[in-house]
Structure 1
Amino acid sequence: MDKIVICKQCGKPEYWGEMRWLSGRCTCRNCYKANWQDENHCLYTWDDLDGKRPTMKEYQEQQDERYRNGKD
C-alpha cells in the first residue's frame, strides 16, 4: 500500500507517490492541475493525473494502524 499524505493546499488525502511539484509547491494531483492551468492559461489535457484517489477514511485507517504499531 502506498503511503497516504494530506495535501497542504487543499487538505485532501493523496498517495505520496502521486504528489507533484510545481513552482516550489508539492501538491496533490487535483491542485497540481488547477495550479498548472492558472499558470499556463489553458486546459491541462493529458491523462497522467487520472487514477484512484485515496479517501479520508483510508487515510484515517492508515494513521490508526501506524499508531497501533507505535510509529507515531
Structure 2
Amino acid sequence: MIPEYSMAILGMQQGIEVMALKESRIAIIGGEPFEPRRMNWNFISTSKERIDQARADWKAHRFPLIPGDDKEFIPLPE
C-alpha cells in the first residue's frame, strides 16, 4: 500500500478540529511563527549574510560531498 501524505497549516485561531476519515498517523507541531525566510536557490535562512556565505562556500566547493552522488558538481545559478 502506498501511503498518502497531507499537510495542513492552521492559523492562530483556537478551537481547531481535525478529523481523520481513515486510520491515520498525525503529527501536530506548533509554536511561535518563524521570522520571515529568505530563499536563494537551495539556501534558506532568515539572514541575507548567511545565504551570501553559503553561496560563496558552494562556489568554492566547501560543502561536503554526498557519498554515492559525488561525480557531478552543479554550479550555482547566477
Q: TM class by shorter-chain length?
A: under 0.3
Query: How does the TM-score come out when normalised to structure 1?
Result: 0.28
Query: How does the TM-score come out when normalised to structure 2?
Result: 0.26
Rg larger in 1 or in 2?
2
Would you tell me which structure has more helix in proportion to its own residues?
A: 1
Q: Which has the higher contact order (CA 8 A, sep 6+)?
A: 1
Would you tell me which structure has more strand in proportion to its own residues?
A: 1
